[in-house]
Structures are given as C-alpha cells and as structure tokens.
Structure 1
Amino acid sequence: MIGHNGISSGNIEVREIKMFLLGIAFLFVSTAMQAGSYTDSLATHTNMPYGRAAGEELLLDIYEPQGEGPFPVAIYVHGGGWTGGDKANPDDAPVLEMLTKAGFAWFSINYRLAPEHRWPSCLDDVQTAIRWVKANAANFKGDPSRIALVGYSAGGHLASFAATVVDETVRIQAVVGYAPLTDFVQELPKRGNILGRAQRGLLNRPQELTLESLGMLKALSPINYIRPGLPPFLLIHGDTDQSVPYEQSLLFQTKLRTNGVRCDLITLPGAPHRLTEWNKHLPNYSDQVMAWLKETINSPPR
C-alpha cells in the first residue's frame, strides 16, 4: 500500500517498529550499565587484590572517607546464595550508602562462588579478607582496631560464621547481619526436608536429605558455634521473609543472649527478603543501624 506521500506505509510501519525495538534495547543496555557501575561509583578504589586462591584473584572495593581519620572500618560480604552476587551489585548499595554516610572506611569483597568452589572456600576468603584489611586498613584511613563485619543473606551467614571462628587473626569488634541464614537445619521443614539449589551447589550433595548432608548442614550453621566472648551482633530481618525464616534471627538472638553476648534485633514489619524493599516497611531502619554501629565500636559522629 502506498501512502499519500508516495512512500509505502508498510515500510514506514516496519521502520518504526525497528526504531522502537532499538530504543528499548538501548534503554535496557543503558540501565544495565548504570546498574553494574552504580555501586562502583561509591568506592574510591576498585578491584584491589586482597589474596589469591585456587588460581583466582580475590578482589575488593574500598571507600576511603575524606578527612584525617582514622575511621572505623566495615567489611561487607554480599549475598547471592553462595553461588552468585558481586561486590558491586546495585542491590547491595543501600548498605554501602549507609556505611558511607556513617563515616566508615568500608571494604566490599568478592569471594569464590559455588558450585565451582565448594564450602569452605567462601569462608576461607572472608577470613583472608579480614586479615588483609587488618594489615592494610591504615593505608586507607581505617582503624584496624575497630572493624565491623557486615553481610546480607548468604553474606550474613558468612559474616556470622566468621565471627565465631576461634582465631585472633580474624577477630572483629561487631557483626551486622542483614537477614542472615544462621541455621540450615531449622529451615529444612520449610524446604520439604530436601536440600535447596544453593545448598546443593555449596555442598555438592544430592537433593535428598541424608545423614551425611544433615551433619554437614549442622556444621555450616553459625548457631551451633555460639559461645561466651563473641563480639556484639545486630540482626535486621523482615518478618515476612520467604527466603530466610525470620524465626532464625529470633532463635539466634536468644542463644547469643543466653551465652552473655549482646545481640539486638531490628524487625522490619511486613518486609520480604529483598534488601532494596526494606525502606518501604521501616524508613528509618538505616538510621538505627548507624546508631548501633557508632555506639558499639565507638565511631566518631559525623
């Protein structure tokens, strides 16, 4: 069909559709690029090596505050079910923004992921990062005697576990767990008494629960290593979390307190597991986290 200007209207429609699709593709790529670099934009040093393991370079990003310091230090461990995630994931940006606002020198780490690297590779890397930060924090205006270990979801599990390790070289002064998984056995009924995809990848075990895999899940659970003398904990958890049961934080808090360890809990009413949605449910929760951190490791006010 020919339009009144002598150009095929069919060709015009095809061209317009192509232009529309190209515009959508450009918007998608542009958004993805911005998302991938968003957290990087918070850091003042990116992709700094902190170790090497199994032929893989271990990298971290650093935020170095302005001013003389020394500033309190936070080591951030990202989530992702032990099989995914990244130190520059924009979903983790709310935590890093909070630490920046609170005046911390922070170190956001990558660690080896399953299933290529099975347990305890990820834990080993967290401990390597703690030792590296202790040795190098002063070079970035950080105070190595005031370190908080912070983690979300699987990263919260690793942070909580690392805090229980009996080794002065990895001892830190505070732990903040954002919806941390602290008891693999407690969540089994929720999963139908089978291993989830992340657990199978982490442990290299079949879906069906066996006595061997049950023992491994117990060994992976930070709640089984609680003892007197651990650093203070702060837990933040949504009470409608469908990925990590809210009850885990309640039980973890109870056991810590029973052992004389300080543990505070910020409950997010109606909040799911996804960190980026929490502010909708409790808009001032980050202020509460900052206040707790400043009090706990004596951070100077900003």
Structure 2
Amino acid sequence: MKTRTRRTVLVTSAAVLAAAVGVIALSGFHTGVRELEQPAAGAENSELTTSERIGIRTFEPPAGITVDPDVVYGTSNDGVLLTLDVCTPPDVAADASATNAPATDASAAGPGGSSTPGPGDADTGDTEQAGTDRSDAATGDTGDTGDTGDTGDTEQSIARETVLSIHGGSWARGDKGNPDWRSVCEWLASEGFVALSVDYRLAPHAVFPAALDDLRLALEWAREPANAQEYGIDPTRIAAFGGSAGGNLAALLGLDGEGELTEGSRVAAVAELSGPVELSAAALENAPDGLVLSVLSYLGCESFDDCPAAKDASPLTHIDASDPPVFIGHSLDEFVPLSQSKDFAAALSAAGVESRLMVVPGADHSIGILDETMRAAVAEFLHRALAAGERPRGT
C-alpha cells in the first residue's frame, strides 16, 4: 500500500520570512539562513544498525496517509533553516466532510484495536488503562471532536491529537526522512494522530541545548493558529515521542519548564523508548564507552569533571508534580542500561507523575522494540493522556 505525498514548504513566521530575505540581500557577505546539514536520508542513518525486520519495520502503512515533507518550521539562532515532515491520518478528508455531523458511535472517533501487555511489562505510578479499545479510550475521543470552527473548507478542518516525533542517532546523526522514522511518522498517523517528524541540529557542530531549542521552536510553530488550521493540529493536545537520543529529548521537552502543558513549548504527554535520561558519570558507569563518548560530544564537554550541562540535559533531574504522563519502553539487555529507565519510572512515581514502564526481552534498541504490541501500548497511552479535558495523574 502506498501513501500519498504532497510537497509543501510552509513559512509562517515573519522572522523566518525576514531571514529568508536576508539570504538574498546579504548573499555577497555569505551570511543568512542556511539549510540544515543532515546526513543523507537512508537506512544507514537509523539507530537500527541491523538489517532485520524488527520493531517499526513490521509496520505496514494503510492507504491514504498523507506525507508533507520538508515543511519549514523556523530558523535557529545560528541561521539554520529547520524542517519537519507532517503525516496526516487517512480519514482526514472524510472527517472534514462530516465536521458538523455528530458522531453516532465510538468507532467514528478513531482507530480501534486492543492493547495487550508484552512480556516483562511492568507498570509504575498510575497505570490503569481506560478500556482495551483505543477507539473508546477516554470516553471515545481520539481527536476528532476538536472542531476549530471551520465548516470543512479545508481537509484538516478538525483539530486532532498531535505527536512530535523525534528521531534518534546519538544526537549526532539520524534524519526524519530515513525509512525507519518515516514509518514511525506513518504509524502515528495510522493511529489517528497528526504526526510532526522533526529534524534538529546535531552534535558535535551544535551542542546542548541546540536540539532542545529546535524542538521548542517546532512546538511553537505547531501552535501558530494558521499552522494548526492547515494541518488539523489541536494546539492543546500535543505529545512528544522519541527513541534513543530522541527519547532523551522527548522526555526533556516534557519535563523541563513550567506552566500549562497546553501552551508554548510544553507537551501534554511523553512516550520514549531506550532514552538515556540521566547523563551523569555515575548513571553511565556501566554504559558502553561509545554511549559515554556520544553523551560528552552532545554536551560539549571533554569529561564529566566540569560539565554542568550534564544535569541540565538529564530529564530525571527536572521531574516535578506538574509534569505530563510518561510512557517508558526498554529492552532487557540493550546497551542503554535498563537502570536508566527503572530509576526514571521510580522518580516519576515518587513525584506523583503517572508513568508506565514496559520492559521487553532481548537486546533490541529504540524503535527496534516498536513492534505491534509496543505500538498498541504506546498509542493507547498517548490517546488516553491527550484526551480532551483530562490529565491522568500518578498517586
């Protein structure tokens, strides 16, 4: 089955427009906006180094998903043009035509299906699941009832739950357009979310907090009224999903900062797989040398002896009771120590933040564990957490 692809480059910010004009006006001085220098999009840029058909590679996208690649979401403070891909659910057109028609049953609200915990599944905090059918999770609302006031003039006239998708790659490689992360984007869309698959600046050229700043900019872009209307985004129901380094960034995006989870650069839910969530020397004592070196490169530090960024870049150090619900996935024997996820889940629970820790057998990493069972669990968690008017809390 094939997806329909539209090429759209949307620049909505006056600042971005001004920067683009600056490229022309100042080209003789070699200043202005430049494109993000990402590695070529391809399988070699996925954090899955195996050729096996595992995890997200077992997903087959349904017909009708729309992918808008390379949408400009802003310009970094050092003049890099930043882009994301938008993956839209296959039933958007049908929903748009029925904007003013009330839903007649729960199946009209979103995709159905059940979630069965996988081997080694462990829950911490408040882990009660709202039913087994994702179509009626949280009173049956999966994002189709947030009418923006439009009467169907555009495809995306209904505001939907939205997920910011953050690729992995040790903070130094990876790309939103590689086949594995394109599949993640399409999978999220198949679950009824608007998926925003984001590229961000990479180490060692851009060290912490550059990537986090870029993701915050993407969230602000998503909440701009014109962009939300164009792509059917509900600005009050946005989550973050990431794997590996992207899992670290998704968690940090969710836990850092204060204020309402529905505004600015905050998110209302987090799901992360295999994320290193504590970047201290002690927490990485049993980690492979390669992971330690990647962390130091990302932080811009030669060692942990004098590296204040290590604490700032660690989601575990930012936990407080105001944080959104967090889903944590990890495999038993992978190279990111399982203690990272266990300690993270325990700290969230102690702070009264809902969390779910799902541990699976084997040594697969990140979206390598995103098989059918894990996909169902993540989607159910996000739908429930993003349900309008509800914020599940831990006890």
The bucket for the TM-score relative to the shorter chain is 0.7 to 0.9
2:198 is aligned, of 109, 133, 139, to 109
2:326 is aligned, of 233, 239, 251, to 233
The equivalences for 1:219-298 within 5 A come to 219-242=312-335, 244-276=336-368, 278-279=370-371, 283-298=372-387
Distance 1:178 1:210 in 2: 25
Distance 1:194 1:87, change over 3 A: closer
Distance 2:325 2:174 in 1: 26
Distance 2:287 2:331 in 1: 19
Distance 1:104 1:175, change over 3 A: same
Counterpart in the other structure of 1:141: 232
Decide which moves more: 217-226 or 101-110. Answer: 217-226
Does the residue aligned with 1:44 lie in a helix, a strand or coil? strand
Determine whether 1:155 maps to 2:246: yes
1:59 is aligned, of 83, 98, 101, to 83
The equivalences for 1:33-182 within 5 A come to 43-53=66-76, 54-65=78-89, 66=92, 67-68=95-96, 69-135=158-224, 136-168=227-259, 169-182=264-277
Q: Give the C-alpha shift of residue 260 in structure 1.
A: 0.6
Asked if 1 retains the 8 angstrom alpha-carbon contact of 2:244 and 2:366, the reply is no
Distance 1:50 1:203 in 2: 24
Decide which moves more: 224-233 or 165-174. Answer: 165-174
Determine whether 1:183 maps to 2:278: yes
Asked if 1 retains the 8 angstrom alpha-carbon contact of 2:85 and 2:176, the reply is yes
Supply the RMSD in Å over aligned alpha carbons: 2.7
Does the residue aligned with 2:306 lie in a helix, a strand or coil? helix
Q: Give the C-alpha shift of residue 144 in structure 1.
A: 1.1
Q: Give the C-alpha shift of residue 162 in structure 1.
A: 1.3
Distance 1:144 1:278, change over 3 A: closer
Distance 1:131 1:268, change over 3 A: same
Q: Give the C-alpha shift of residue 166 in structure 1.
A: 1.9
Q: Which runs of 5+ in 1 are unaligned?
A: 1-31
Q: Give the C-alpha shift of residue 90 in structure 1.
A: 1.8
Asked if 1 retains the 8 angstrom alpha-carbon contact of 2:84 and 2:196, the reply is yes
Does the residue aligned with 1:113 lie in a helix, a strand or coil? coil
Asked if 2 retains the 8 angstrom alpha-carbon contact of 1:138 and 1:144, the reply is no
> What fraction of aligned residue pairs are identical, expressed as a percent?
30
Does the residue aligned with 2:81 lie in a helix, a strand or coil? strand
Distance 1:287 1:194, change over 3 A: closer
Distance 1:96 1:139, change over 3 A: same
Report which structure shows greater RCO (CA 8 Å, sep ≥6).
2
Asked if 2 retains the 8 angstrom alpha-carbon contact of 1:73 and 1:137, the reply is no
Q: Give the C-alpha shift of residue 264 in structure 1.
A: 0.7
**One-letter amino acid of the structure 1 residue matched with residue 236 of structure 2:** S
Q: Give the C-alpha shift of residue 265 in structure 1.
A: 1.3
Q: Give the C-alpha shift of residue 59 in structure 1.
A: 0.3
Asked if 2 retains the 8 angstrom alpha-carbon contact of 1:184 and 1:217, the reply is yes
Q: Give the C-alpha shift of residue 271 in structure 1.
A: 3.8
Distance 1:104 1:52 in 2: 26
**One-letter amino acid of the structure 2 residue matched with residue 230 of structure 1:** D
Does the residue aligned with 1:196 lie in a helix, a strand or coil? helix
Distance 1:245 1:196 in 2: 12
Q: Give the C-alpha shift of residue 138 in structure 1.
A: 2.7
**One-letter amino acid of the structure 2 residue matched with residue 259 of structure 1:** A
Distance 1:277 1:262 in 2: 22
**One-letter amino acid of the structure 2 residue matched with residue 148 of structure 1:** A
Does the residue aligned with 1:170 lie in a helix, a strand or coil? coil
Asked if 1 retains the 8 angstrom alpha-carbon contact of 2:208 and 2:309, the reply is no
TM-score by length of 1: 0.78
Asked if 1 retains the 8 angstrom alpha-carbon contact of 2:331 and 2:364, the reply is yes
Q: Give the length in aligned residue pairs.
A: 259
TM-score by length of 2: 0.60
Does the residue aligned with 2:286 lie in a helix, a strand or coil? helix
Q: Give the C-alpha shift of residue 137 in structure 1.
A: 2.3
Asked if 1 retains the 8 angstrom alpha-carbon contact of 2:331 and 2:369, the reply is no
Distance 2:312 2:377 in 1: 32
More helix, by proportion = 1
Determine whether 1:216 maps to 2:312: no
Q: Which runs of 5+ in 2 are unaligned?
A: 1-40, 46-56, 97-157, 389-395
Asked if 2 retains the 8 angstrom alpha-carbon contact of 1:94 and 1:276, the reply is no
Q: For residues 75-133 of structure 1, what are the alpha-carbon distances to aligned partners after superposition, in whole Å with 9 as ceiling and x for unaligned? A: 11110111111111223245323312211111000001111111111110011111111
Distance 1:113 1:240 in 2: 27
Distance 1:253 1:33 in 2: 33
**One-letter amino acid of the structure 1 residue matched with residue 305 of structure 2:** L
Q: For residues 38-86 of structure 1, what are the alpha-carbon distances to aligned partners after superposition, in whole Å with 9 as ceiling and x for unaligned? A: 99x9652110110111121000000122232322101111101111111
